[in-house]
Structures are given as C-alpha cells and as structure tokens.
Structure 1
Amino acid sequence: MPTDALEDTQQKQDIEDRLATEHDSLTVFCKDSDFDGHYTHYCKQILWPVFHYQIPDNPKSKAYEDHSWVYYVKVNQAFADKIVANWKRGDVIWIHDYHLLLVPNMIRKKLPDAKIGFFLHVAFPSSEVFRCLAVRKELLEGMLGANLIGFQIHEYARHFLQTCSRLLCVEATNDGVQLEERFVDVIDTAIGIDPVALETSRADPAVAEWLNTMQERYRGKKLIVARDKLDYVRGVRQKLLAYELFLNKHPEWRDKVVMIQVATSTTEQAELDATVSDIVTRVNSSWANLAYQPLVYLKQDISYPQYLALLTVADALMVASQREGMNLTCHEYLFCQDGKFAGHNKNGSLILSEFTGSASVFGGNELSVNPWDYRQCADAIFKALVMQDQEKEQRWSKLYEAVMHHTAEHWFTTFLARLDKVYDEQYRRDTTSIPRLSINALSQSYKKSQRRLFMLDYEGTLASWGSPHDIILTSPQRTLDVLNDVLADERNTVYVMSGRQPEELDRLFKRVPNLGLIAENGCFIKKFGASEWTEQANLEKMHDWQDSVEGIMQYYHERTPGHINDACEEQRVKAIPTEHAVIVAPIDWSKGTAATQIYEQIEASGDANVDFLTVMGDGRDDEVIFRWANELERQKKVKHVTTVSLGAHNTEAGYTLTQGVTE
C-alpha cells in the first residue's frame, strides 16, 4: 500500500503492531516511488518479460530511463535489512520469487551463518536470453547467497546452472554451484494446490448455485473454459485464433460448443486488448445467433464460487501459455473434474501448452500443444470433444494422481527438508569448520598401520604452479627428498597425480624410482614400481573432441567452462576452472577412477589390505578423490583415512593446510 501519505509515525506504528499481532508479520516500509520503480518498472517491464523469453526492447518502455534498477536494489535492501534486524539463531529464511532476487546475498553478507532458501516461482530462461540483462551478474550473485535454490522443474534448474557456468565462470554440477568459499545446492520441486482447502471451498452453497445456473444455461453444449491474465505470455490471442480455426474446419460443431474465456486485467498495453477484442467480435459475428454464442469473453475476473463452478461444469480446459512457471489453474480444474459436485463423472480433457511447467509433471496424459501451431491446437480441441469416455477416464485418472502427489504441502515439506540437509552438509564442508591437519595425529595413525597408500596432487600441492607452457619443469629438491624418504619404507605406496602429460611427469620424477604416477587427470597411469604407462582413455576419441574444444577456447575465452560442457556433452567431456587454467578432460576418466583402479589392484594383490590412506590436493579437480577416500572410510574399508586440502576454499576434505605448498 502507498505509505508516503501517512501523516505521522504513530500511523506506521499502528500498522506494524496490527500486522505483528494479527498476522504474525513484519512490515517493510519504503517510499512510494521506490516501490513503483521496483515493481511496476523493473519487475514487470524488465524481469518478467526476460524470464518469459521476451527481450525488453520495446521502444515505448521507460524502464531504463527512470533507472528502475536503483529502485529494485533499494526495495530488496529494505527487505534484507528488516530480516537481518529480526533474525535469531536457528531461524530459517525462505525468500520467494523474482521480486527479491538480491535479498539472499544481501542477508548473507550480514549473516554469514544464516540458513537461507530461495525459490523461483516463474520460469528461468536459457543463458542466451538471461545474458541480455544489463545486471545479469548481480542478479545471479544475489540468488547464490542462498544455501538452497529451488525451481519448479528440471529445465529451469538446468538453465540456471548453465547460466552460472557461462556468465560467472564457476563450476556448476548437477547438484548445484561450487563457489570458491562454499557450495550452493540447486533442486527442482514442483509446487501444487492445497486439495483440502479446495475441497472446503467447493462445499460452499454458492458454488452449487452457480453450477446449476451454468448447467441450465449451457444445456446440450460442450464447454471449453479458460481463465488467464491478459498479457502476451499467456497466449490468449493464440488460443482464440486456434478456436476460430477449429470452427472453420468443423462446421458441424458450430452450434454445439462454447468457449468461455475469462481474462483478468493486467498492466499490459492496449494493443493486445484491442487484438483479442477484434477476434472475439469476428468469431461471434460469423456464427452467433439469437440462441447461440460460440465465444463468451469476460474481460474481468469472476468470483471464486463462479470460478470453481466453471471448472466443474467444463468439458475441457485450454491453456495456451507461451511460457509459464507452472499453471495451477489446470491442477484445480483436474481436481474439480472428479464428478462429486457435477452429478456425474466429468473426467474432462486438458489441452495444455508444452511451455508450462505443469506439462513436465503430467507425463503426456494431457493433450499437449504448441501454442504457435494453430492447426495443432485446433485439432486438440476436436480431439477433446470427440474422445471416448474410456480414454478420457484413463487420462484424467493419471493426471489426477499427479495433482494429488505434487501438492503444496509436498512442495513445502520437500524444500524445507532439503534445506535442513544441505545446510548441515555445507556447514561441514565450510573451511571455517574444517580442522587444521594435526601432524601428531597423522603420525600416530601412520605408526599403527601396516599397508599405506598416499595419493598426492602435484601442481599447487607438492610444487607451486608453473605455466602449462613451460618447456622445462623442475620439482623442488625437498619434494624429491621427501618422496624418496617415504618410499624407503616398503609398507608405503605413493602416487603423484597431475594434469600434465606422461612424458613431463617422467622427466619431473626420474630421480624417484618406484613412484606411482597419474597423468592427465586419470587418463594415464604408471603403476607403482612399473616402467611403462597404461592408457585409460581412448586416444583416438580424445583427438576427436580436442579440436572442437580448442576452437571453443579461442572464440569463447571468457565463458569456456559453460560452452565446453554444453557443446561437448555427447563426447563425454567436461571443463573444470582452476586458479590458473581451465582443465578439459573426459568425463569417464578422472583422478577418482584412477585411484579406484589402484586401490582395487592393491587389495587384489594378496598382500596386506590398505589400512592407511592419505590424499592431498588443492584444486576443484581434487574434490572427486576426496569424496572417493571419504567414502572408503564411511564404508569402513580403510581404517585410517586422511583427506587434506591446501588453501582456504570450500572443500570436502577432512582437514586443511592453509599455508599451501610451503607446508
């Protein structure tokens, strides 16, 4: 509500008190101009169109002229400040939707230990669309302040991860985004309706009255119903044109079917309103008579009892959105089609745009349409009207089952349970909670063990990073001496891991006989005590993708990880950003696969089983081997497991050495 006109602080205090006592709510006050710039301009004229695949290039838009981004920041900051001022340890912060994208990171800066969830209720576009936003980086970083980010469906989550990878050049996995200091989990969980509340609302006598009225008014007619906001992304225009085409193609239906389109008001331009009105006039002037009107168009919302009666009496619901986060209208329609209040089982058909989030949870049991394909939409209308009762019942039953599974309660409990879980996991991985390696404890475990395995990263761990283009590489003499000292004990097996080529590692460690080596991040292994290398990956296949990757690196230098992971996915290739380079390697071969092979070979040799395992590394590509070693400890396959990460970044290692190579 506008607040500039409030005369004194007492009025504001009264509002705050009433909201607190009656609604358990905190109040955020901001200037009317700030809210108008935030909501009417930035949210509705910039974010809403872009998130729904419409670039904000309308020459009539004043969104940039009035610096609406400034107002968006101000309102987000007002929310963040209110939360920070009232937060108590143990509170859960759950932020919703595109109006407050900056709030998670604003809170994180003030409350680094807070448990923060964020859920986006609308679609998230592909990276090519999102990058059109002038402040794309700030928006992504704002969202990444959360511990858990939720999206309606897998497609939106995948778009977000790809966008982070390309625009922020961070490592994005299927589970989330790896930032330098922490991990942000990403999930998709579809929101739904509240069946219990809807059932209560259906029992309202007003619903029954309206149901009787509509059944009497449209007796003998098939009803196709729809209720949408009148904006460009809801596809009202496309839907009406498809209905007009249907009537042209099937004249036998012209006095047997009625479409009722309810169009709720929006802030859209007048052009769409005029276009839709022209279509309505054309359809009705062509086929209406004193006893029949083929298209009923209500440019206003209807009461809730009317709405529920409309869903109950309908023979089909048609949704033609060009993009939509979910579309719960179709969920409510399917719930109302159970026949309890209609007097008989309706099991009506659902004509649903493939570009709605709901389409991904219905398993193809709806009549799926592309709203831009008018012929397909017209054919779907025909199919909905002539479908046999058995097929209608089968489709409806499966759709109803999906609606009753993906309820609002299921969405709520799933998200919050996952937030609790990932928060605990992230806290364990936080470097502030990872203890410094105790040399004394490690020494005690070493002395008690009989068969020891060391897996040591090279660059950044045993030696400082050198340029990948250095022709002559050398290892510090101290490193070579330590390795030789460790190998003097026959109970010790040592492997050094590197992203470098086999011949380079041979040259680096020629003075350390018997040392095991892993080259090119697991693609080549020189077994402990052996003189020859074993090739793990298929070299011919590697040459196939290396040319493609090199070309991508040349043209997309700044966004390399994202482009390689997208373009070369079928070739089983991934890119991992590190401090000084981007490592491009096969997905199927890694330090983890090499370590697994080495460990299994030792276990199968007939000698004593490994009872001491130490893994040390410093980069993102070492996380896979930390996970592997930690899992061996969890499964109690190795008694003493020590995983150590160098530096201060977020890690799954059990211990850290923050001074890096010098330690």
Structure 2
Amino acid sequence: MSRLVVVSNRIAPPDDKKSSAGGLAVGILGALKATGGLWFGWSGEIGDEDKPLKKVTKGNITWASFNLSEEHYDQYYSQFSNAVLWPAFHYRLDLVKYQREAWDGYQEVNALLADKLLPLLKEDDILWVHDYHLLPFASELRQRGVNNQIGFFLHIPFPTPEIFNALPPHAELLEQLCDYDLLGFQTESDRLAFLDSLSMQTRLTTRHGKEHVAWGKSFRTEVYPIGIEPKEIAQQAAGPLPPKLAQLKNELKNVKNIFSVERLDYSKGLPERFLAYETLLEKFPQHHGKIRYTQIAPTSRGEVQAYQDIRHQLETEAGRINGKYGQLGWTPLYYLNQHFDRKVLMKVFRYAEVGLVTPLRDGMNLVAKEYVAAQDPADPGVLVLSQFAGAANELTSALLVNPYDRDDVAAAMDRALRMPLAERISRHAEMLKVIKENDIEHWQQRFLSDLKQITPRSAQSQLQSKVATFPKLA
C-alpha cells in the first residue's frame, strides 16, 4: 500500500494539544493512520534553516518539521501569504501589499521545502499538499524529478479572474498550480473561478468534464467541501457544564442568546455584524432586555496593521452600541477578544438560540457546521448564515443572508428569535443530515481515492510514448 505524505504550512505534532484540536488535523490524522505516512511542515519556530529536521514518530506516522529564518518567515508568511494571497483570495484587493522581495521569498521557501522533503520521499508515495502557502510546491518538486501523484486542496476561496489576475505574479502562480495532478476546491464557484482565470492566460483544454490540459500539463479539478466530526462535537456539547458555565446559563435563563465566534479577521464581517445587531435593536425594540449577543474574536496576526485596525473598530463599536441601548442590569453586546477552549465553545453553542455566522467571504466556515452539530435536536437553535460562506451551499436550511445588508441580517435575527419549535427542528434535522453525510472522514477519503486513481506522471509519459511508437493497423 502506498504511503501518504501530507504537506502543510504548519503541522500538528502529537505532543501539541492546542494545534491538534481542530477538525482538519483530525481528518489528516485519520488518513495517515489508515496507510501510515509522513506529515511535513513548518515547526512554527524562527531559527536556523540548515538545522536537521525535527522528527517524531508515533505508531505508523512520522512528523517532520523545519525552522524558518526570520527573513523568510517575514517574506513568505507575513508579507506574501498573509498580506497578498489572503486578502486577494478574500476579495480585498484594497488590502493587498505586494512587494517583489516578498514574492521572491515566497518562491524561495517553497523551493527550500522541496529540497528538505526530497530525501524523505519514496517512489510510490502519494502527496497531499494543503492551502495557499504552497501554491508553487508541486512545481518545485517536478523540477527536481518527482513524478509521484501530488494533490492540492485549497481551504480558502479562489477569486474570480478580475481579482486574481490583478496580482502581479498571477500567470506564474497559475502555471505552477497546473503541476498538481488533482486540484481540490471547497465549492463549484471556486473551481470555475480557477478555470476561468486559467483560460484567460493560456489555452485550456477540458476533456471528460473535469480533466484538463494547460501549458502541456494534465490535471484534474474537483469540489470537496470539508466537513467536521459531528458525533464528537455532539458529545462535547451535551456533556456536563463546568461550574462557571452552569452559573452563566442560570443567570441567562430569561435571556435569548445570539452567539458568534471566529478569529479576528477582516474577512469575517465583524463590523458589519455589529451594525446589523444595532439595526435589530433599533427596528425590533420588543427584544430589548430579552436578548444578548456575545462575540468571541481572539486576535490573529496581531502584527498586521489591518488586524489592529479592525480590533480598534470593534472595541469602539461595542462601547457605542452598549452606551446607546444598554440599561441598568442589561448589556446588549458582549465582545471578548480572547481565546476559549474548543470544548467549552461547543457547550456554549448548544445553549445559544441563534448562531450568527456572517463572513463577507469564506472558503467553507466550519463554525457554521459545528454550531448545528452542537445543538439539542429536540430544541435546536437557529443558524443565520452568510450566503458568501462555502457552507451556504450545503446548509440551505439555515437563514441565508447578505452580510452587506444590515437590514437583511437584522430581520433574519428577529425571525430566528421568534421561530416556532417545529420549524427549528425541521431546519436543524435537514442540516444535520448533510453534515453527517459529508463529515471530515468522507472528505479525506473522497480526495485520496480520486488522487490514487490518477496515473503517476512517469507511468503516464511511458504510456504516451508506447502509444506514439506502436505501429498503426492498416
């Protein structure tokens, strides 16, 4: 059986409880356990790049990690991945800060990683590469003679050609992506946006639906919406409450809770969400004193100015809204710029009557799925979900909204707060069915099954050579 090699910007080693808590790590580990394999990525540490790889083996899985120099970390990670690709792929060209040095550093790090991985590879390994940090990675491996099957999954959206082609190195990135054998996207819109961008740069031939040729390279595209572990989340949510949460639940027994959690990021639509909540308070005064909106948004990428700006904006807006609508004994909005344990959040989800998930743009948004999975099926809450989250394609029984329309979001919150039990149960059951069918195991099994069916490039070229030299029948 072929060995699986997973490559990602960061790895979740077995001794790191914090990083291994997420759903993606669970899916990847499940895939690695099935075949045995290697998980290769950055250690998260700044240091000597020439230092030998740190390797940890547990069972049939090996974790191999490397350090990055301060200069490479700054260029590859901070400046290019997070100040060019992230904003552009989330439709925020106004926040893109492109510098040629950062692009060069991004390419250098992908080349460096290819050099570090090369000695670890076996002839029949199958490679699964993750996310926007590693767009050129397959190209670097191909230049070093690697013909193994290499798949790529993009966790974030792929922007339309009008956005993507505004990036100075767009043509180079597109050609490099074609060195992957299988390109996986969260939604059909993302897949088509990639192909549209490609067809504007070169001749794109499509055969058999989702098999393509561009720049003389053959590759396949497919949609793989990422899932969660619904059973585990339901167990975490239904367990006994810690004393502080139990006390809080008792204090809020006469208040309906609107709850939202995500890391602090401009793609999540947080300022727009605050204004929508203010519109709810303004246009539906019957809810005054009877609801509370809690927003948890821990800081991420705090060194980036755009993230500092949004944090300041949210603090200002929260104070203004509470000052305008708050009463003695009632604070309408709680904004917490803190990290909470994932298991605690699942319990909070269960007791929130409304889950508010309204990103301006998101590849999938697993919080939406986690909120649904955490609910009590006999008395579930209502999900208010942005139409621009990838999850909206699957969770069609949520109250779908346009996050740019504060009146639309406010009206959806009002409807959610008043929704009868029978309708809540029906909508929840429909969403939970989809979540269970498309869980994290299904996601990784589908991707890897498709990747294994692709003929490795060396064998492919030999086959083409035999066909070309075989004498034609008269």
TM-score, length-scaled by structure 1: 0.61
Shift of 1:427: 5.0
Shift of 1:150: 0.2
Partner SS for 2:118: helix
Q: Which amino acid in 2 is paired with 1:361?
A: E
Q: Which amino acid in 1 is paired with 2:78?
A: T
Distance 1:386 1:3, change over 3 A: closer
The answer to whether the Cα contact below 8 Å between 1:101 and 1:143 also exists between their aligned partners in 2 is yes
Distance 1:380 1:401, change over 3 A: same
Partner SS for 1:145: coil
- The higher-RCO structure (CA 8 Å, 6+ apart) is 2
Shift of 1:351: 0.4
Partner of 1:178: 213
The answer to whether the Cα contact below 8 Å between 1:137 and 1:168 also exists between their aligned partners in 2 is no
Partner SS for 2:66: coil
Partner SS for 2:45: coil
Is 1:275 matched with 2:313? yes
Shift of 1:433: 4.8
2:54 & 2:282 partners in 1: Cα distance? Answer: 58
Partner of 1:102: 136
Q: Which amino acid in 1 is paired with 2:197?
A: T
Name stretches of at least 5 consecutive residues in structure 2 with no aligned partner.
1-43
The answer to whether the Cα contact below 8 Å between 1:46 and 1:56 also exists between their aligned partners in 2 is no
1:86 & 1:5 partners in 2: Cα distance? Answer: 20
Is 1:2 matched with 2:45? yes
1:175 & 1:5 partners in 2: Cα distance? Answer: 43
Shift of 1:111: 3.1
The answer to whether the Cα contact below 8 Å between 1:3 and 1:32 also exists between their aligned partners in 2 is yes
Is 1:32 matched with 2:33? no
1:3 & 1:252 partners in 2: Cα distance? Answer: 54
How many residue pairs get aligned? The number is: 424
Partner SS for 1:40: helix
- Of 144, 151, 154, 1:117 maps to 151
2:297 & 2:444 partners in 1: Cα distance? Answer: 30
TM-score, length-scaled by structure 2: 0.84
The answer to whether the Cα contact below 8 Å between 1:162 and 1:172 also exists between their aligned partners in 2 is no
Partner of 1:459: none
Name stretches of at least 5 consecutive residues in structure 1 with no aligned partner.
340-344, 444-663
Is 1:295 matched with 2:328? no
1:401 & 1:281 partners in 2: Cα distance? Answer: 40
Partner SS for 2:172: helix
Partner SS for 1:229: coil
Partner of 2:104: 70
1:305 & 1:213 partners in 2: Cα distance? Answer: 17
Shift of 1:287: 2.3
Deviations 1:161-181 (A, max 9, x none): 111111233224640421354
Distance 1:425 1:349, change over 3 A: farther
Partner of 2:23: none
CA RMSD of superposed structures (Å): 2.3
2:334 & 2:120 partners in 1: Cα distance? Answer: 51
Deviations 1:167-214 (A, max 9, x none): 233224640421354420000010010234434544665x45454233
The answer to whether the Cα contact below 8 Å between 1:182 and 1:426 also exists between their aligned partners in 2 is no
Partner of 1:50: 88
Partner of 1:416: 448
1:167 & 1:210 partners in 2: Cα distance? Answer: 57
1:438 & 1:233 partners in 2: Cα distance? Answer: 58
1:111 & 1:369 partners in 2: Cα distance? Answer: 48
2:122 & 2:351 partners in 1: Cα distance? Answer: 50
Is 1:239 matched with 2:282? no
Partner of 1:222: 256
The answer to whether the Cα contact below 8 Å between 1:16 and 1:27 also exists between their aligned partners in 2 is yes
Residues 320-329 or 263-272, more deviating? 263-272
- Of 195, 198, 204, 2:230 maps to 195
Partner of 1:311: 349
Partner of 1:41: 79
Residues 173-182 or 141-150, more deviating? 173-182
Partner of 1:575: none
The answer to whether the Cα contact below 8 Å between 1:108 and 1:146 also exists between their aligned partners in 2 is no
1:227 & 1:393 partners in 2: Cα distance? Answer: 23
- Of 115, 119, 128, 1:81 maps to 115
Distance 1:305 1:217, change over 3 A: farther
Shift of 1:325: 0.4
Deviations 1:395-420 (A, max 9, x none): 11001111111111000000000111
- Of 335, 350, 353, 2:386 maps to 353
Deviations 1:215-268 (A, max 9, x none): 112111110000122222100011110000011011111111100000120233
Shift of 1:279: 1.6
1:55 & 1:157 partners in 2: Cα distance? Answer: 20
2:194 & 2:426 partners in 1: Cα distance? Answer: 36
Distance 1:25 1:386, change over 3 A: same
Distance 1:301 1:3, change over 3 A: closer
Shift of 1:144: 1.1
Partner of 1:261: 295
Partner of 2:190: 156
- Of 332, 339, 350, 2:370 maps to 332
- Percent identical: 27
1:280 & 1:417 partners in 2: Cα distance? Answer: 48
